[in-house]
Each structure stands twice: as C-alpha cells, then as structure tokens.
C-alpha cells in the first residue's frame, strides 16, 4: 500500500531549532510523546525536543542540551534510542568517534554518559559509526548492533530493575559477538563494509521466538535478515521487477508495523528520500519516493518512528537548508492487527 505523506516542515521551537550540516537525528516514542535527539548548533553536544500527541503539524517543545552527573554527552553522529523499564536509553558514538557511550532518561533527568566495553579486550566501533538499539517486546533486555571495521557486532544488557538506574555500569553489557563479516563484492572481490544498522523487534506471538529484523547498508544496497540475536544472515534486498530494487546513499532506518517492515533511506540521487516495504518474512513488496505537498530532501540517514499511528520521519535538510531539521508523516498507515512494534496500540 502506498503511503500518503504530509509535512516536510522545518522543526522549530521559537524558530531557532537547528542541527549542523551532516548530523542526522534520531526519533523514538517515550511517555506518549515523540522525542527527537540531535546534534546542537555547536556541532558536538546532544540536544532533545519532543512533540505531543495529536500535534503532528504543530510546534515542538524542548531544544534542551542533554547533561548528566558524568558530564554532557557529545557525538558527531545520530544516537540509537530505545525504551525499556520506563526509561529512554541512548547509545551513541563519542565525541572522537572511537567508542560507544550509554545514557538514559527518566523523563526529567539524564543519567550515565559512560563508555561501553573495554577497548583493550573488546571490539570498538569504527570512527563516526552509527549503531542500532532495540528491546524485546515482552522482555527487559537492550539489544545493540554496531559496526567495527565494516563488520557487524552484537551486545546486550539486562535493565530490568529501573530502581538501579543510577547504578548501571558498562560491565553490565555482554561481550560483543560477531554478527556477520562484511561480504566481498561479487565482480571484483573487493571487501565491502556494513554501515548504519537498524533493528526492529517482532512479537513472540507473531514470530514464535524473541526475534528481530536487522537492516544495514552495504555498498549501495540494503541488507536484511530476521533472526534471534546474534544469529542473522543478511542478504541484499532485491525486487523481482526491473528497476525497483532500492539503491541508497545513506540509511536505512527501519520501523515494523502490522506485518510490514518500512525502511526509509536516502536514495541514489543523494537528496531524495525513499521508503521500501518488506513483508513479515522479508519478501520485497514495493519501493516509493516520499512526496508530500513539497518533496522532502535530505543529506544523510533519516530517522523514523511510529507516532499517533502514523509513520513519522525526521531528516537534515538538503543544500541551503542543510543546517535545519525537517519533519514529515504519513496519514494512512493501516490499522494495527498484529503487534510487532515496541509501542502499545489497540488491535
């Protein structure tokens, strides 16, 4: 089903909310609001804002610099966001892009800003790498996928007791395991690199087990697989129709909704935003350019989330608008019949 899009409006809070060129945002539903986290105008500090329900075309609130007792989180790439145990968790590539960091938010106060993993023992992500974060729908364990040297790695952390929120440590995360080594290019044999992974959880009532869909960019292709962590065998997303296979320059960002995976990405043009749809088993369904009253254009990986039962996207503008954040949303997602996203909706 083709989605109808609205918006392509600049995100403003008093007309001042911006993001530096080249730094994409992240979106997630938390405490009934849609939260966006982004790089501030100074170029390294993380800020957050939020949109209230029933207000898709309205004003955002916040534009607040994130700060913890351990200092202010800093990054040059979009963080990964996930809600578990009543807290919004955030994992992000640090200011120098040489390690991953972890913070969490209770709706009022941020905690953490602690470095993950022991760099002497465990793989560190490639500089400027983006990561993916998700949680089992029926569980309380965070699941993390990130890139190291072009390969995909997995780690997890049980955060089932929010009473200990101020006491969590980096050592609570499991030792990273290799998910999949980057493949070689078929025609030349040159080694390729994975980048920008994205995770979406499936309900065990639907999948029969606690499993996740994983998507990532490799060369100009979207690679995709469904599996139980850390067992994913990704393969390129292809269409049986000539010219319909997704070709991307940045992304993907994935959202699961009603047996369908919506994958949003920056297309081959390097400015137009597209989405493709995969069925519950990863079978290709369709591929469409996102067109609203004015056509959204970006410059890097867009963010995506379901909010008010609509597929919402946020993205850094293109060209002369490259220091602004923009927002668009669909207005015709089908009514949810099988719960496979991390949010609660009536069936």
User: Residue 165, SS3?
Assistant: helix
For residue 305, what pLDDT band results from cuts at 50, 70 and 90? very high
The whole-number pLDDT of residue 343 equals 36
Sheet of 284-289, strands arranged across:
248-257, 260-267, 273-278, 284-289
Q: What digits encode the pLDDT tens for the residues 181-230?
A: 998 887 777 889 999 999 998 866 555 566 899 999 999 999 999 999 99
For each of the domains in the chain, give its residue range(s) and CATH number, in order of start.
5-330 (2.120.10.70)
Closest CA to 116 of 153, 88, 164: 153
Which residues are within 8 A (CB) of 167 and not within 5 positions of it... i.e. 6 or more apart?
none
Mean pLDDT to the nearest integer, 287-302: 90
Q: What digits encode the pLDDT tens for the residues 136-168?
A: 776 789 999 998 889 999 999 988 877 767 778
Closest CA to 212 of 199, 222, 223, 224: 199
Give me the percent of the chain exceeding a pLDDT of 70: 86
Between residues 12 and 117, the one the model is more confident about: 12
CB 260 within 8 A of CB 267: no
On the 0-12 / 13-18 / 19+ scale of CB atoms within 10 A, 167 is: exposed
DSSP 172: G
CB 183 within 8 A of CB 152: no
CB 170 within 8 A of CB 115: yes
- Is the per-residue pLDDT at 97 higher than 70? no
Which residues are within 8 A (CB) of 57 and not within 5 positions of it... i.e. 6 or more apart?
6, 7, 9
- Is the per-residue pLDDT at 346 higher than 50? no
User: Residue 195, SS3?
Assistant: strand
The whole-number pLDDT of residue 135 equals 83
For residue 338, what pLDDT band results from cuts at 50, 70 and 90? low
CB 27 within 8 A of CB 33: no
Between residues 22 and 244, the one the model is more confident about: 244
The whole-number pLDDT of residue 154 equals 93
CB 99 within 8 A of CB 147: no
User: Residue 329, SS3?
Assistant: strand
On the 0-12 / 13-18 / 19+ scale of CB atoms within 10 A, 204 is: middle
337: left (phi over 0), alpha (psi -120 to 50) or beta: alpha
For the record, the structure tokens of 205 come out as 């009532």
For residue 129, what pLDDT band results from cuts at 50, 70 and 90? low
Distance (Å, whole) CA 79 – CA 253: 12
Q: What is the DSSP string of 184-208?
A: BPTTT--B--EEEEEEEEE-HHHHS
Peptide bond into 252 cis (omega under 30): yes
Distance (Å, whole) CA 346 – CA 335: 9
For the record, the structure tokens of 148 come out as 């190291």
Closest CA to 287 of 245, 333, 344, 228: 245
CB 330 within 8 A of CB 311: yes
User: For all residues of the chain together, what is the average pLDDT?
Assistant: 85
């Amino acid at each position: 089903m083709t989605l109808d899009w609205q918006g392509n409006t600049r995100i403003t809070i008093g007309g001042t909310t911006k993001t530096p060129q080249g730094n994409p945002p992240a979106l997630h539903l938390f405490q009934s609001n849609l939260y966006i986290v982004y790089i501030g105008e100074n170029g390294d500090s993380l800020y957050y804002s939020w949109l209230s329900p029933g207000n898709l075309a309205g004003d955002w609130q916040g534009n607040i610099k994130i700060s913890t007792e351990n200092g202010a989180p800093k990054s040059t790439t979009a963080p990964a966001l996930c809600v578990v145990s009543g807290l919004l968790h955030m994992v992000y590539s640090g200011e120098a892009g040489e390690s991953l960091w972890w913070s969490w938010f209770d709706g009022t106060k941020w905690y953490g800003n602690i470095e993950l993993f022991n760099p002497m023992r465990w793989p560190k992500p490639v500089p400027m790498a983006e990561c993916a974060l998700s949680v089992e729908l029926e569980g309380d364990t965070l699941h993390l996928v990130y890139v190291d040297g072009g390969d995909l790695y997995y780690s997890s952390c049980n955060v089932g007791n929010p009473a200990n929120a101020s006491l969590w440590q980096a050592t609570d995360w499991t030792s990273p395991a290799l998910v999949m080594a980057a493949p070689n290019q078929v025609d030349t044999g040159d080694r390729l690199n994975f980048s920008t992974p994205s995770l979406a959880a499936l309900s065990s009532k639907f999948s029969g087990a606690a499993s996740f869909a994983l998507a990532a960019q490799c060369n100009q292709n979207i690679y995709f697989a469904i599996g139980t962590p850390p067992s994913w065998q990704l393969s390129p997303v292809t269409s049986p129709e000539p010219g319909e296979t997704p070709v991307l320059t940045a992304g993907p960002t994935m959202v699961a909704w009603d047996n369908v995976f919506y994958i949003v990405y920056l297309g081959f043009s390097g400015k137009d935003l597209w989405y493709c749809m995969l069925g519950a088993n990863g079978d290709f369904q369709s591929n469409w350019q996102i067109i609203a009253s004015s056509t959204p254009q970006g410059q890097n990986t867009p963010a995506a989330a379901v909010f008010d039962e609509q597929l919402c996207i946020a993205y850094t503008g293109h060209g002369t608008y490259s220091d602004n954040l923009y927002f668009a949303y669909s207005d015709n997602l089908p009514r949810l019949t099988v719960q496979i996203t991390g949010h609660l909706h009536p069936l």
